[in-house]
Amino acid sequence: MEQIIHQAPRYKTQFAAVFVHMVDPGKPGVGIHDTDQPEYFLLNTICSQLTAFSEPSSKEHLCFYQWSKQRYQSVRTIDPGDFLPRRWLGEYLSWSYEMLCQQAPDHLRMKHYQTEAVDIQSSRCGRERVILQDHTSILAEGVFLTTGHANIK
Q: Note the pLDDT tens digit of each residue in 29-64.
A: 888 888 999 999 999 999 999 999 887 656 788 999
Give the SS3 label for residue 122.
strand
Parallel, antiparallel or unpaired: strands 117-122 and 137-140: unpaired
What pLDDT was estimated at residue 138?
Answer: 95
pLDDT per residue as tens, the chain (153 positions): 788 887 777 777 666 788 899 998 888 888 888 899 999 999 999 999 999 988 765 678 899 999 999 999 888 999 999 999 999 999 999 999 998 888 888 888 889 999 999 999 998 888 999 999 999 999 998 898 887 666 655
52, 93 Cβ separation under 8 angstroms: yes
133, 116 Cβ separation under 8 angstroms: yes
Q: Cβ–Cβ contacts within 10 Å for residue 65, how many?
A: 22
What pLDDT was estimated at residue 112?
Answer: 92
What pLDDT was estimated at residue 107?
Answer: 86
What pLDDT was estimated at residue 5?
Answer: 81
96, 57 Cβ separation under 8 angstroms: no
What pLDDT was estimated at residue 117?
Answer: 94
Residue 24 amino acid letter: D
Model-level pTM?
Answer: 0.82
Give the SS3 label for residue 110.
strand
